[in-house]
Amino acid sequence: MLAVGLGALELLRHDVSDVITHWLEIVRVDPGNRLVTALLSRIFSVTPGQLKAASVGTFVYAALYLIEGIGLLRRRRWAEYLTIVTTAGLIPFEVYELAKHFTPVKIIALLVNIGIVVYLVLRVRREHHPRMKTASARYPARKGIALQ
């Protein structure tokens, strides 16, 4: 994310079309390709203000993930909740994209994301709920059945 943010800032100092054309030559992509042409028309229509906003957004996103990661490494409860909130925060965007253009891949992505959020919520509740913690301690998982 930091690299994307720095790249967006770097594009502000140069002509976007020159940079993209240079990279297309390095990667040896056919500029006449229909998909490449569509992508290029979108890239060339980006304004400096949009580029600045994208750069700021990626830096904020990187900082959020850095804070979340450090909190999870230190086993902080707030980081677990932050993970749930950030993961669930993607669901409205997925619903919007699904409403804009329905595809099976988008519905699968939405269902997977909802499943992940449900799993995270259940896991945090199980680990931090006193009654569930004692129940799991009373009945530990067994690897096999002992025959006597």
For residues 42-61, average pLDDT: 84
Q: Is the pLDDT of residue 144 over 50?
A: no
Q: What's the token pair of residue 65?
A: 């993930």
More confident residue, 130 or 148: 130
Reported as a pLDDT band with limits 50, 70 and 90, residue 145 is: very low
Reported as a pLDDT band with limits 50, 70 and 90, residue 140 is: low
Specify whether the CB–CB gap between 117 and 84 falls below 8 A: yes
**Strongest mean pLDDT among 32-36, 106-110, 138-142:** 106-110
Q: Is the pLDDT of residue 4 over 60?
A: yes
Q: Is the pLDDT of residue 126 over 60?
A: yes
Q: Over the chain, what HEC string results? A: CHHHHHHHHHHHCCCHHHHHHHHHHHHCCCCCCHHHHHHHHHHHCCCHHHHHHHHHHHHHHHHHHHHHHHHHHCCCHHHHHHHHHHHHCCHHHHHHHHHHCCCHHHHHHHHHHHHHHHHHHHHHHHHHCHHHHHHHHHCCCCCCCCCC
What is the overall mean pLDDT for the chain? 81
Specify whether the CB–CB gap between 89 and 120 falls below 8 A: no
Tell me which of 9-23, 41-55, 98-112, 118-132 is least confident. 9-23
Q: What is the pTM of this model?
A: 0.62
Q: Is the pLDDT of residue 62 over 80?
A: yes
